[in-house]
A and B are shown apart, each in its own frame.
Chain A
């Protein structure tokens, strides 16, 4: 049996991201839903091998930004460059090709209800045909055991709890070992033990496979644990972009408020009354 080594040995601490050309870069992105501008000139670059965390108040456009970064939404203006190519100008085939190389775990899991959890994870493996067919069941089992769902393989998504569904969604996202994984609110609806297990998993995958993660989360502990860099959105703008240390010493009031968990004035008033 393999020895149980202390945590520090293989470094469950954020390692500094490799420098180099960004794997995905957003330039002056503008999005509108009807009249309202949700994202208003966002720019950021994610480096390969980085764990990039997007934070911001509820409704600030995090999910929207994430959907842009995987080509699910067309922006009103701006570019999104994936490995040197602008995905907003790609045709359908090129976009599909690009989307195969990324994994996406959606906020509400996005599992197919008609299939078992195992089949959900197997779907990309079968469809893309990159994995030997006879090995697919083992790959599925391995991916599910990574997220602690080894015994849910034959269950239907509707038979799982919210947090279990979320983890199954992650297993599907990482089925093909994509170099880039988007993860919308991994820890929402998950108990702290499992959430910190997920953080470890993210760190391990990042370290062992060099997977780049773009994660939307509100969990302060989890941000401290995994984030290489943090981007904060507020009212459609980037108000902060930097490391955790920088975030701890920033002057931006909104960022400090976020990390110190201070409520807005009006909610504070309401609480007094």
Chain B
């Protein structure tokens, strides 16, 4: 096998590297030709020089040859030794992006695994929240109280404000339409019905999923990333018992309360518009409102709320536990949790609307 020999310059650095590479490329007429670099003149080299050397080695290897060197002395020997592993190994090619069928199949499999994981979480949660406390296997009441404070008490202000404003907006929009027919008083009815059946629950659940759902996902995901979940498991403790059930129970207590508050605030928002802008007597307005306040509507709103509560906690925990990678994974999973919350909320809402107005009618 033939070889070509080349003399390295006095100093091998960022300036002299490119020239050497050109020289080698120019002098490589045949496939499989080896290159021998003669370092006898070279007194010094630096990192940039060795990066060029690396590229040179790759170029020679690309033609099926091999790079060798000789007559190095002093520091250059040490430097070459230091970078030798890099010179002798091929760069690892970046991972091939999967093709269409592979990608489709991959996501189908992922979905199945995800569903299975979610199902396991649901079963576990039912056991640890509903059955285990009665079997005397313990429930973390302290955490439950803390969570209620965090999820409930601290969310009161924002929930009230959002619902109040929404009530105001709804009344504002409707009163324009009602004016045309002179039936402004019906705005009170619509606000009441709207909030009891739909808006109170949906608005409050949206606020809570953005607030608490995201917090749950982020907290559990961070715990997963920092090996806290592994630590918990390693101590023989159950993740669902420790983290999920207290949150779930707290949410089940707190969300209906928040929704009730939300309904009241929404109705008050409408009333502010009715009394101060539409100039109704407060007694007239509230009388109309109370007449429209039906148990059936409230029951619908509250049943929905219970389902929302379960969904928000389970989706948050599920996404948190699925995290891979570090800080970026935490961000992705938190976003995913909130998006899923809102998506499922709408789906659940549709189910309830169908159930209450078309099936049970």
Chain B binds chain A: yes
Q: Is A188 an interface position by the 8 A CB rule?
A: no
Q: When A142-B47, A146-B82, A151-B92 are in contact, do A113 and B52 touch as well, CB less than 8 Å?
A: no
A142's partner among B50, B77, B78, B325 (CB-CB below 8 A) is B50
How distant is the Cα of A201 from the Cα of B47 in the complex, in angstroms?
14
A144 proximity list for chain B (CB < 8 A): 86
Q: Evaluate contact between B85 and A150: CB separation under 8 angstroms.
A: yes
A residues in contact with B80, CB < 8 Å: 2
- CB of B79 within 8 A of CB of A208, answer yes
Task: State which of A39-47, A95-103, A130-138 sits at the interface with chain B.
Answer: A130-138
Chain A contacts with B in 190-233, Cβ cutoff 8 A: 201, 204, 207-209
Which residues of B35-72 are within 8 A (CB) of A? 46-48, 50-52, 54-55, 58, 68-70, 72
Q: How large is the interface on A (under 10, 10 to 19, 20 to 34, 35 or more residues)?
A: 20 to 34
User: In the bound complex, do residue A114 and residue B327 qualify as a contact, i.e. CB atoms below 8 Å apart?
Assistant: yes
The interface on chain B, measured as residues whose beta carbon lies within 8 A of the other chain's beta carbons, has a size of 38
- Shortest Cβ distance from residue A43 to the other chain B in the assembled complex, whole angstroms: 34
The listed residue (B70, B89, B94) touching A151 by CB distance below 8 A is B89
With known contacts A2-B72, A153-B92, A139–B84 Cβ distance under 8 A: no
Kindly state whether residue B95 has any CB partner on chain A within 8 Å: yes
Given A5, A148, A154, which contacts B92 in the complex, CB threshold below 8 Å?
A154
Can you list the 8 inter-chain pairs with the closest CB atoms, starting with the nearest?
A113-B326, A145-B86, A114-B328, A138-B51, A139-B51, A10-B78, A158-B325, A138-B54
Q: Contact: B83 with A154, CB < 8 Å? A: no
B9 interface hit (Cβ, 8 Å): no
For A137, A141, A151, A177, which residue has the most chain B Cβ atoms within 10 angstroms?
A141
A residues 64-93 touching B (CB-CB < 8 Å) = none
A273 within 8 A of B: no
Measured CB to CB, the residues of B under 8 A from A are 14, 46-48, 50-52, 54-55, 58, 68-70, 72, 74-75, 77-86, 89, 91-92, 94-95, 225, 324-329
Chain B: minimal CB distance from A269 (Å): 28
Name B86's contact: one of A9, A146, A207, A208 (CB within 8 Å): A146
- Chain A residues with CB under 8 Å of B72's CB are 2
Give chain B residues whose Cβ lies under 8 Å from the Cβ of A113. 325-329
A88 and B55 CA atoms in complex are apart in Å by 42
Instruction: Select B52's contact among A114, A138, A154, A201, beta carbons within 8 Å.
Output: A138
Q: List 20 A-B contacts (CB under 8 A).
A: A2-B69, A2-B77, A2-B81, A113-B327, A114-B326, A135-B55, A138-B52, A142-B51, A146-B83, A146-B85, A151-B89, A151-B92, A153-B91, A153-B92, A154-B95, A156-B325, A158-B324, A177-B46, A207-B78, A208-B78
> Would you give the shortest CB distance from A169 to chain B, in whole angstroms?
13
Q: Which of B52, B91, B327 contacts A141 (CB 8 A)?
A: B91
Looking across the interface, which residue of chain A has its beta carbon closest to that of B44? A208
B240 to chain A, nearest CB (A): 24
- Hey, which chain A residues are within 8 Å of B54, CB to CB? 138, 141-142
Asked whether A157 is an interface residue with its Cβ less than 8 Å from the other chain, the reply is yes
Q: Assess the A139–B48 pair: CB atoms within 8 A.
A: yes
Q: How far is A113 from B332 in the complex, measured between Cα atoms in Å?
A: 12
CA distance A177 to B45 in the complex (A): 13
> Restricting to A99-153, which residues have a CB under 8 Å from any CB of B?
113-114, 131-132, 135, 137-139, 141-146, 148, 150-151, 153
- Chain B residue at minimal CB-CB distance from A134: B55
Residues in A neighbouring B327, C-beta threshold 8 A: 113-114
Of the residues B50, B89, B326, contact of A150 by C-beta under 8 Å:
B89
Question: Which of B14, B52, B91 has the largest count of A CB atoms less than 10 A from its CB?
Answer: B91
On whether the beta carbons of A137 and B326 are closer than 8 Å, the reply is: no
Q: Which residues of B contact A158 (CB under 8 A)?
A: 225, 324-326, 329
Chain A residue contacts of B329, Cβ below 8 A: 113, 158
A268 within 8 A of B: no
Of chain B, the residue at the smallest CB distance from A132 is B14
A1 at interface (Cβ–Cβ under 8 A)?
yes
Which residues from chain B contact A10 at a C-beta distance below 8 Å?
74-75, 77-78
- In the complex, chain B residues whose CB is within 8 Å of the CB of A204: 78, 82
Closest residue of chain B to A131 (Cβ to Cβ) is: B48
Name the residue of chain B whose CB is nearest to the CB of A144: B86
Bound-state CA distance A142–B69 (Å) is 17
- Shortest B25–chain A CB gap in Å is 14
Residues of B close to A177: CB separation below 8 A: 46-47
Q: Which residues of A contact B14 (CB under 8 A)?
A: 131-132, 135
List, in ascending order, chain B residues with CB within 8 A of A154's CB.
Answer: 92, 94-95
